Structure 1
Amino acid sequence: MQISYPTSAFLIAFLCSLLSSLSGLIVRYPREPVEEMEGRVLSFKCRLEYKTEDCDISAKWWRVESDAISEPITDPNRFLITVNETKIDEQRHRDIVLTFNSLSIADRGSYQCTAKCLNTETVAKGHVLNLNVKADPHKGLKASAWSGKLKTDVTVLVLSIMLFVWYN
C-alpha cells in the first residue's frame, strides 16, 4: 500500500488560497485545461472578489514558465486585456479578461491570474490554467480557384456550342 503525501507546492498554494480568502480577496476561474486550434480567438476570464473598504486591487494575468519563473502578459499586439467591475453593497467583483487575438502554437503553456491588495499587500493567486494549442490541419492550404473558374469555363463552352449549333 502506497501512501502519498501532499507536495510542498500544493501545501503552499492551499495556504495562500486560505489566507487570501480569510483576508477578503478571492480569485476565481474555471479549473479545466483548455484546448483550442491555432488561429482562433480565445478568452480567459478571472473574477476577483473583495470588499471595497479592505482593498484597492492590482491584478494581472501571467504566463507561468516554471514554479519560480512567471512573465506578465503585456503585448497589446497579441493580447487584449479588459476589465469590468461591478459593486454589490460593499462587495466588488472585478473581471479581468485575457483575450488571445489569434492563438499560435507558441501560446501553449500555463497561465495564472493574480491579485494584490495595494493597501494590505495581501496577494491572491488562482490555480495554474493549462492551455494546449493544436495545429490547424488546414494551415498553409489554399483554396483552389479552379472550382469557380471551371464552372465559368464550362458555362461559356456550353453557350458557345449552343450558339454555334443555333446559327448553323
Structure 2
Amino acid sequence: MTLTMRRVAFLALVLSPFVLTEPVAQLPGSKVTYQGVTNDNKIEHFFNIKYAHDTSGTRRFAPPEPFTPPEGSRITATEPGPACPQSKAALPPFFDETPVTSEDCLSLRIARPAGTAETDKLPVVVWFYGGGVVKGSAYDSHLDPDRNEGPETWVAMG
C-alpha cells in the first residue's frame, strides 16, 4: 500500500467518527470543521474533502503531497469535487457522464447515517473506484450510498 493510500485510509478512519451538529464534522484533535449535507434517505454526505494538493504544473508526475487545511478552517463539503482527467462521455450501463474534471481531484467522499455521534462505532469502508484508468469517479451514481434503502440496510462486512 503506497503512502498516499495509507493517508487516504487513515483520513477516512479519522473522519468517520465526526462530531455531529446539523451535519457538521470536526476532526478529532483539530479545529478544522466540515459542513456537509443530509439527504432524504437520512444519509449525511461530506464531499470533496481534499487529502492531497493539486497534481498539475510542477507537481505533475510527482508523488502527491498531503493537504492539511489551516487550523480553524471551516470547509464547505456540500458539493461534489471534480473527477480526475478522463473521458467526459457516459459509458452506459457502467459509468455516468463526468461533467467536471481536473488534476486537482485528490479528495474523499464520505457518507454516514444521519445522527451519528462521535462515540458511535461504525464500520469504515474505503472504496477505490475502478475504471481501468479510463473512467471513474466517487460521484458516479452507481457508487452512490443513496441507492440502497437507507442506513438501516448498511451491513458491516468482516
**TM tier, smaller:** under 0.3
Q: Which has the higher strand share?
A: 1
* TM-score for the superposition, normalised by structure 1: 0.24
Q: Which has the higher helix share?
A: 1
Q: Which one has a bigger Cα radius of gyration?
A: 1
